[in-house]
Amino acid sequence: MASPIISGRCLRANILHLPPAIRTSIYANTRSFSSTPQRKVDAGSTLTSIAVAVPTAVLDGVHAIGLPWCAAIPVTAILVRGVFGYYIAARPARKRALAHLNLAPLINARAKDDIQQWGSRREQAYDQGTLKRPPAGARKLQLIAMAMWYRIKGGYQLGKAYGAPTFTWQNGINFATLLAFTEAVRIKCGTKEGLLTLLLGPLQWLQDDAPARPVDPAEALAERLAAARESKQQQLLSSDALPDGNALANEYQLPPLNTSAYLDFADPTMKVEGFSWLQDLTIPDTTLILPITLGCIMAANALLRPSVKKQPDTVKDIQEKLQAFDESNDITPENKTSTSKSTSHRDTPKTSAVTNDVLHALEVAEKLNAEIAAKKNKPDRFFVNLSTGKRLSLIFALMFTAIALQMPAALVLYLFGTLATAWLQGRFLDVKYPMRQVIAPCKRQMRYKIKREYSDV
């Protein structure tokens, strides 16, 4: 039969007269709620769970074949970026880029025509007084902006007409898969620091600071009392006398719980299936091996990027072109002598001396260019000689390396596998689908043959 102290209303009236240890024991033994209540699911967590369902299944599938997490994570990154990303995004994007290179003359001509029409309309508006003429600097900026706009517009229209649209759903597929898989890895690590958190960091000032996880007050009180009771249980059993009630009550005042909301989804095997120098993949790499390697991969991707800028012809190239021209026109020494004998002196082309002079001038120019290039390629002018895009890429690589120092090692490992695969994929596409030079109009003045007709006098 239940004790009258534990039953019903008598508990409320008489429990206050008992010592704190007994009150704690009675409360812990008679509570009717669970220590792990049902989680409150909001819309954000539901969408996140749906978004990372497939990436989590892929990661678990690769891990289920027997690979530890230190190998399963980069293997998953290689498979996703190397197979899925190549056939869905990378190869179609390279084919569209090649089509836009072929359409470049038409795009430039249409943009030039559109900008001329826009300029004529603006001049008419200035003359009529409907628009106020801006300063010269503002007009130059307007001209540059409109030229870019008409070029983008013409490229989109012509690309869509010829089956190579500029903007498609495939453009962001690699970035979307990267976000989804990094979120899956982050959730498995049970941490808050991730790629999506980094991107949405500037927008967090729009919302109020929320706790890491909403903890039920009854649950918090029960866990604190249970922890205090367990910590003092051995002392109570070993001592015959009951300790002072006030002292015991003060010792029961534990700090509030601050449990992370992501720890419930963490995979315990992430803490033991790491590298020899880093067993726990849920914490940042204190040896700095993974962050520095990631930064080196990003820097190599920026520096070793091929350039489509046309290089000037060297003397050897010009000699080969002259030889090919002579062979195509069947110009041999015998033909030259026979032709010179059969023609008059004014029709004999004296090209040998002119050609030698031109080649000598080109050799001198090539030596001067080599000397200038040697001066530019000094180590102290390495960063100055880089293009603007490569400079920005190097700065971004340095900044991201500093950010990767605070990320979990598993997340850095996935980013390392993705970026390394992307770099190798780009070099493979450069070999299989090389980017040709942009077709540009010839700037050399051409000589046109005029056919004269004489009428009878």
State the Cα–Cα distance between residues 442 and 319, nearest whole angstrom: 20
Q: HSE on the CB side for 277, CA within 13 Å?
A: 8
Q: What is the pLDDT of residue 421?
A: 92
Q: What is the pLDDT of residue 448?
A: 60
CB distance 243 to 237 below 8 Å = no
State the Cα–Cα distance between residues 365 and 355, nearest whole angstrom: 15
Mean pLDDT of 222-235: 68
Say if residue 332's pLDDT is above 80. Answer: no
Say if residue 285's pLDDT is above 50. Answer: yes
Q: What is the pLDDT of residue 280?
A: 85
Mean pLDDT, the chain, integer: 71
Q: pLDDT digits over 233-264, tens only? A: 656 555 554 444 444 444 444 444 444 556 66
Q: What is the pLDDT of residue 22?
A: 60
The phi and psi torsions of 73 (rounded to 5 degrees) equal: -70, -50
State the Cα–Cα distance between residues 420 and 426, nearest whole angstrom: 10
State the Cα–Cα distance between residues 263 and 271, nearest whole angstrom: 13
Structure tokens at 144: 């540059």
State the Cα–Cα distance between residues 146 and 3, nearest whole angstrom: 88
Name the packing angle between helices 69-79 and 409-432 (round to 10°): 30
Q: What is the pLDDT of residue 79?
A: 92
Name the packing angle between helices 53-64 and 43-51 (round to 10°): 40
Say if residue 272's pLDDT is above 80. Answer: yes
State the Cα–Cα distance between residues 246 and 88, nearest whole angstrom: 70
Say if residue 350's pLDDT is above 50. Answer: no
> pLDDT-derived band of residue 27, with 50, 70 and 90 as boundaries?
low
Amino acid letter, residue 154: G
- The rounded percent of the chain whose pLDDT value lies above 70 is 54
Single pTM value for the model: 0.61
Highest-confidence range of 10-24, 153-167, 258-272, by mean pLDDT? 153-167
State the Cα–Cα distance between residues 366 and 324, nearest whole angstrom: 22
| Distance from the first to the final alpha carbon of the chain | 143
Mean pLDDT of 290-295: 88
Nearest Cα residue to 70 out of 284, 273, 239: 273
Burial class (CB in 10 A: 0-12, 13-18, 19+), 22: middle
More confident: 313 or 289: 289
Q: What is the pLDDT of residue 262?
A: 60
Give the Å distances, CA to CA, from 379 to 326, 372, 374, 390, 396: 44, 14, 10, 16, 21
Highest-confidence range of 47-51, 134-138, 320-324, by mean pLDDT? 134-138
Give the Å distances, CA to CA, from 346 to 46, 343, 450, 451: 89, 8, 19, 20
> pLDDT-derived band of residue 436, with 50, 70 and 90 as boundaries?
confident
Other Cβ atoms less than 10 A from the Cβ of 56: the count is 20
Say if residue 225's pLDDT is above 50. Answer: yes
| Cβ partners under 8 Å of residue 393, min gap 6 | 298, 299, 301, 302, 305
CB distance 81 to 418 below 8 Å = yes
Mean pLDDT of 23-42: 47
